[in-house]
Structure 1
Amino acid sequence: MEASAFPLTCTTRLTISPPLSAQRRILLLPTSRSTSALVLRRSMSKDEPLIDGLPKEYYDDEWQARQREKTKELHRLRQEEEEEEERKVEEYREIGMRLKGYPEEDVRKARKLVSSLIRAAEEVEEKIEEAAERGELTELLLMVIWNRLDLARRDDEKDAVRSLDLLYRRVETEILKREASPAMRLLNDLLNMHDGFDNEGWLKECKKHMVETFPREDPFSILVPAGFDLDKHEGPLRPPLEADNALLRVDFVREVDALLQEVRYEQDLLQSAQGLDAESVASRLKQQEKQRTIHQVEALLDLAINLQW
């Protein structure tokens, strides 16, 4: 019996399956998609679905913790800014209340005068003197300048602070000069004559100015008015009217001596600041400037005591 050969009619490709252990290894190999899913699900609960369009950091606990810290910091900064703004508003309100006790019309005129002085630039000295002659240099004017200066300091406007500070000092000096006694006005004029270098030349000029200011104190000038001729017995018998307002040397000496005693007492109470910080250095420089002025006043007092015509 012959064996007949049956041709293979099955065209299906036979694939050889790998062993079971190899299949397990293949199934456990992560793909790129499965890796992202594992990272995203690290901080997710099993029931929370993935949302398309959100960054993967959204599901990261560490990233969310950092974001919460940033949010807290932003809230803190915003609160600080609001508190600073509220503080400034309160300060501005306080500055505005300083002028509440003055008449509105006077405040308006004072503000107008301050604006004109600021615009005067190089002519500010003349404007101040003209205002002083009109009697417009008052405490209210100083308060208006101080308010502007305070606002400029709070807004850190350095140029405005410098200009307003100089204006305040100049107006204050002019007011004090107008209110001071003749002796103090003369002392101020003599001190302003010093150029800071030639001390001997300054003393000569001061002596000349004193001789022209103080009335003569010789016996004839005391008993006989100036201009009266003793030989002919002719001339005015009454002193001129302006002689009533003349500054006597003895009055100048008395007031300057009292001023020096007061200043020396204050200087003895003050202790020189120690240290190399900016505040200590500035304090020492200020004390040195006061000492130089005191020495100049002492020299003027000695000059007035020993003055000879």
Structure 2
Amino acid sequence: MQVSALTPTWVLHLHVSPSPTNSSLQTLLQPASRSTSSLVRRRSLSKDEPLIDGLPKEYYDDEWQARQREKTKELHRLRQEEEEEEERKVEEYREIGTRLKDYPEEDLRKARKLVSGFIRAAEEVEEKIEEAAERGELTELVLMVIWNRMDLAKRDNEKEAVRSLDLLYRRVETEILKREASPAMRLLNDLLNMHDGFDNEGWLKECKKRMIDTFPREDPFSILVPAGFDINKHDGLLRPPLEAEDLLLRVDFVREVDGLLQEVRYEQTLLQSAEGLDAESVAFRLKQQEKQRTIHQVETLLDLAMNLQW
């Protein structure tokens, strides 16, 4: 075989080497196999780390790796937020549990038992509260126990329980205030509760009758002698009647109710009207409207007492 100047150098190399077979020659002359080219490509995608069999090809994609790192950071952030929220809840539960630690254990046990009885009473809760008030068992501690239960229900998002406990708290608080109030304030509370929300004229008639039955007559003769006294059948000296402990004079009622109205009106001037349409603003306005209706009723009762005639 003649060698020309155009003969490739690899042909010269083949001729100086032992003669390969045709199949060996084909193997040398054909391009690199598929596995070899794939290996080259995979190595080019990950130059600084060794190849690991069984891993997906995305493992060697830099963009995919970056996305995975961002996902990992986000998961760590969410986990940290969950742990912080859990710690906050634990701290809140701990704070709720330690509110009552300064009260005597025996008193705390009785208050919790009383509140549990109110909750189980269902429709008879009004009677149970009044009976407890008669026995002198309604105290600030009872209110604190109800408040704690309501706080726990709020933390657990138990809306029905929160609503029921809120009503129970208000009812017990009203009964406590009623027992501690003066005779004038107790009478005012009873008169307001007599209103059915519809028949205003009928309510005023009932209130007038209640006032006449409650206030002693104020003519000079009735001040000196008891009701039903017949001077024509009396012998001896006239003595003024002893003042009863629960006796309520009309002048005392008028004075206390007027003072209450002045205080409430002053508080109303300090409050700013909420004009938003969110739930909190709407609830505030409704509460203010209800308060204004009650103030108007108290003003009506005050005017009735001032002009009362027997």
TM-score by length of 2: 0.85
Aligned to 2:68: 67
> The residue matched to 1:27 in structure 2 has which SS?
coil
Q: What do residues 202-230 of structure 1 show as CA deviations (whole Å, max 9, x unaligned)?
A: 11111111111111222321122223211
* One-letter amino acid matched to 1:41: R
Q: Is 131-140 or 221-230 further displaced after alignment?
A: 221-230
- Tell me the equivalent position of 2:88: 87
Write the deviation string for residues 74-103 of structure 1: whole angstroms up to 9, x where unpaired. Answer: 111111111011111111111112111111
Matching residue of 1:8:
none
Query: What amino acid is the match of 1:121?
Result: A
CA distance in 1, matches of 2:190, 2:39: 91
Q: Does 1:44 align with 2:46?
A: yes
* Matching of residues 196-275 of structure 1 within 5 Å: 196-233=197-234, 243-275=244-276
Whether 1:27 and 2:31 are equivalent positions in the alignment is yes
**Distance in 1 (alpha carbons) for counterparts of 2:43 and 2:243:** 104
Shift of 1:35: 6.9
Superposed counterparts of 1:166-205, under 5 Å? 166-205=167-206
Residues 189 and 235 (structure 1), Cα distance of their counterparts in 2 relative to 1, 3 Å cut: farther
The RMSD of aligned alpha carbons is: 2.6
Distance 2:243 2:118 in 1: 34
Instruction: Tell me how far apart the structure 2 counterparts of residues 228 and 55 of structure 1 sit (CA, whole Å).
Output: 110
Relative distance call for 1:50 and 1:135 in structure 2 (3 A) is: same
Q: Out of 215-224 and 150-159, give the one that drifted further.
A: 215-224
Q: What SS does the aligned partner of 1:300 have?
A: helix
1:171: Cα distance to partner? 0.5
Residue type of the alignment partner of 2:191: L
Match of 2:294 in 1: 293
TM-score w.r.t. structure 1 length?
Answer: 0.85
- With over 3 angstroms needed to count, the CA separation of the structure-2 counterparts of 1:60 and 1:247, relative to structure 1, is same
Deviations 1:116-162 (A, max 9, x none): 11111111111111111111100111111111111111111101101
- Aligned residue number for residue 5 of structure 2: none
Question: Aligned ranges for residues 106-121 of structure 1 at < 5 Å?
Answer: 106-121=107-122
CA deviation string 1:237-270 (max 9, x = no partner): 6677673421111110010001011111111222
Task: Tell me which moved more, 285-294 or 268-277.
Answer: 268-277
Distance 1:27 1:200, change over 3 A: same
Residue of structure 2 in register with 1:105 after alignment: 106
Q: Structure 1 residues 234, 99: closer, same or farther in 2, change over 3 A? A: same
Contact 1:225 / 1:238 at 8 angstroms: preserved in 2? no
Contact 1:273 1:283 in 2 (8 A): yes
Worse overlay, 232-241 or 253-262: 232-241
Counterpart residue number, 1:4: none
Partner Cα distance (1:271, 1:41) in 2? 73
Unaligned runs of 5+ in 1: 1-13
Superposition deviation, residue 36 in structure 1: 5.3
8 Å CA contact retained: 2:250, 2:305: yes
Deviation at 1:38, TM superposition (A): 5.7
* Alpha-carbon distance change, 244 to 179 in structure 1, aligned in 2, over 3 angstroms: closer
* Matched residue SS, 1:101: coil
Q: Give the Cα separation in 2 of the matches to 1:124 and 1:104.
A: 25
Q: What's 1:55 paired with?
A: 56
Q: Distance in 1 between matches of 2:155 and 2:237?
A: 64
Alpha-carbon distance in 2 for matches of 1:236, 1:107: 57
* DSSP 3-state at the match of 1:260: helix
Partners of 1:75 and 1:43 in 2: CA distance: 28
Counterpart in the other structure of 1:6: none
Matched, 1:151 2:156: no
% identity of equivalent residues: 83
